Amino acid sequence: MKLLVKSFGCQMNKLDTALVTSALEDAGFSLTESVKEADVVLINTCSVREHAEQRVLSHMGHLKHIKESRPDLVVGVIGCMAQRLGDRLLEHEAVNIVCGPAEIPQIKELITEALKEKKKSLAVTKKIRRKAPDEKSQALEEFESAYGIEDESIPAQAFVRVMRGCNNFCSYCVVPYVRGPEVSRPPEAIIEQIKKLADHGVKQITLLGQTVNSYKYKKGEKTWSLADLLDAAGNIDGVEWLRFVTSYPSEEFFDEIMQVMAGSPRVCEYLHMPAQSGSDKILHAMNRNYTGAWYLELLDRARAIVPDVSIAGDFIVGFPGETEEDFQATVDMVEKARYKNAFIFKYSPRPGTASDKRLQDTVSAEVKQRRNVELLAVQEKISDELSRDFLGKQVKVLVEGLSKKPHLNSIEGGGNPQLVARTATDYIVVFNGPVSLAGQFSDVKITKTSPLTLFAERV
């Protein structure tokens, strides 16, 4: 049986895709990239932005045409969009299976039934904000532990989920309604999984959570935090680099996390902490529980404890009610924060969220686009300045594999292809070298820079 998996969205979705793929390979499926060869097509979906959902619907339309000549093809939709739309997705002519994120341990059985009986199946969590029954939590835990493997697309790297769900209820965000309440995994299960990955040759582990820094697990008299997890994971033989994403701006455990980063040679000096806006009025409307000044103070604290930390941010432009003055406050924040890079998105209302119910989408598409372009330009200038600091320096990188855009590099490579790699501080580096370096560390010297890429030659 041949399986094609198409994945949209965040790192959490990529991890779910890896888990499901691993489980199905274990059940005897072989992977294909051709829909013509596939017996089963799974689409792992994202609901965070409208654009992501539109791409999925377009993909489903394409599969509907294919099923007209191949009615036995089984199509499953999993992930956040599956949880959000449930029955409505199942009504689509192309779709056989709809399965929410909390139900993925059932995926093998759902596919087996669809192949045998040709019936449609719905597996979503009915009351998503309620604490899951123990047996469901146990099933997720066992699934995670059994199939948490190396990311085959990036050798020697793996993602490990430390918590599920979110309790922040930012007014624009659909995540709490599709992934449920915050649940932290037991530390011993996480450490055991990391040990297993390290034994398989994984060198870099990224700890994942919707708000990863709010990890908290009470065990006996001790309450474990993300700082404790990083400390314990940093002592596992074979693990050379540890990362964590994504952090919500929060006072709790912040200094402890940064102190572990400062004290451990294995914890990468990188912090991804979205601000979303620089305007206090807009932050309040977004239900982000801090002010712009407090957020910038938090970045100052991070840099005081870890002077070389590189920081990435996220912003939404064109949120309902955002004036030019509010947008200027965001520009000011970006200039003061001096991010390595920032992900900038135009606001799009998500059904079921507080901002969709209570706030009118007042900012025009043209204004959103202009602000998006302006803010990207501000960030690009800062990224360019920070990149230039690397010129002539020697850095250690973990090689990911062949570069997808080798034409970017004009440096002669002595017959070797161009490779892409990352520094501990998450800068992208390209250089020419043998393909056998994929999954290995290498020392390189930076010879040229651009805002988002460092060009190097192997030392």
Domains of the chain, first to last: 2-123 (3.40.50.12160), 149-268 (3.30.750.210), 270-388 (3.30.750.200), 394-458 (2.40.50.140)
Supply the DSSP symbol for 157: E
pLDDT for 269: 98
Cα separation of the two ends of the chain: 46
In this prediction, residue 411 carries a pLDDT of 52
C-alpha pair distances (Å), 413 with each of 186, 360, 410, 440: 47, 54, 9, 19
Overall residue count recorded for the chain in this entry: 459
Among 182, 177, 162, 171, residue whose Cα is nearest residue 125: 177
For the entire predicted model, the pTM comes to 0.93
Q: How far apart are CA 254 and CA 104, in angstroms?
A: 32
Long-range contact set of residues 291-297: C-beta below 8 Å, sequence gap at least 24: 292/329, 292/333, 294/249, 295/249, 295/333, 296/333, 296/336, 296/337
Residue 130 pLDDT: 87
List the chain pLDDT tens, one digit each, 459 residues: 999 999 998 888 899 999 999 999 999 999 999 999 999 999 999 999 888 999 999 999 999 999 999 999 999 999 999 999 999 999 999 999 999 999 999 999 999 999 998 889 999 999 888 888 888 889 999 999 888 876 667 899 999 999 999 999 999 999 999 999 999 999 999 999 999 999 999 999 999 999 999 999 999 999 999 999 999 999 999 999 999 999 999 999 999 999 999 999 999 999 999 999 999 999 999 999 999 999 999 999 999 999 999 999 999 999 999 999 999 999 999 999 999 999 999 999 999 999 999 999 999 999 999 999 999 999 999 999 999 999 999 999 999 999 987 755 545 667 899 999 999 999 999 999 999 999 999 999 999 999 999 999 999
Strand pairing category for 310-317 and 121-123: unpaired
Torsion angle of C-alpha atoms 356, 362, 366, 371, degrees rounded to 10: -80
Contact 279, 295 (CB under 8 A): no
